[in-house]
Structures are given as structure tokens and as C-alpha cells.
Amino acid sequence: MMFLNIDVQSLILTIFRLLLGSIFLVSFVGKASERYHFVDVLATFKLIPSSWLQPVAGSLIIIVAIMLLLGWQSQAAAALCGFLLIIFTIVVGLSLIRRHPDLECGCFGVKHN
């Protein structure tokens, strides 16, 4: 659909791509500012071996953010983004099933009590 020589569908996709990339970037900044605390949060989920947490923590998030913000390999970025969101949903769901509703997700950094 063209409106004033602008492909509306492409414009909408670009806006959503930039919005999602920005969300992932802000999420990464919160995690990176307290990297060791974030690694501790990840360790409570017992999703990957502890020895992998330090190099992996946040790496995929910043890669997805950069890919989305630059529009580079958008389909691969969308697939990786979807994968991360599915894993996150499963982990949070399992935490709730295991009756750990107070387990911190670490979404935008680590909250301190």
C-alpha cells in the first residue's frame, strides 16, 4: 500500500524493528551495569552451566539489539529475538510452576531490596 510515495508496511515494520531493538538495548544496558549480579540471577534459573554464564550473559541481547537497530540481517535478528523471548517465557513459566513467584527475572537489570 502506497501513501504519499511511502510504503506503509515497510514504515510500520521499521518502526517496530527500531522499537524492539531499543527495548533490547535498554535491557542490555541495565544488565551490563551490574553484570555480576545479572550472572547470579541467571544462575538461579539453572538453564546453562555456570561456567558459560559470564561470557554469554547479555551477549545475545546486545547482538539482537544491534542487528535490529541497524536493520542488518533483520530476519535472523527477528528469529533470534523470538528464540530469546520463548526461552524467557518458558523459564518464567517453570519458575511459577515450581512456586517461585519471587524469583527475579533480571529483565532490565537487577533490582535491589
Indicate the number of domains in the chain: 1
Q: Are 63 and 80 in contact (CB under 8 A)?
A: yes
Residue 55 maps to a domain: yes
- Whether 106 shows a pLDDT value over 60: the answer reads yes
Q: Which of 3, 11, 89, 1 is nearest to 45 (CA)?
A: 89
> How far is it, in rounded angstroms, from Cα 35 to Cα 49?
17
Looking at the DSSP bridge assignments, the partners of residue 3 are 6
Provide the mean pLDDT of the chain: 80
- Domain containing 36 equals 24-113
Q: What is the pLDDT of residues 48-86, one digit of tens each?
A: 777 777 777 778 889 999 999 999 998 899 899 898 889
- Whether 113 shows a pLDDT value over 60: the answer reads no
The pLDDT of residue 65: 92
Residue 10 maps to a domain: no
Looking at the DSSP bridge assignments, the partners of residue 107 are 109
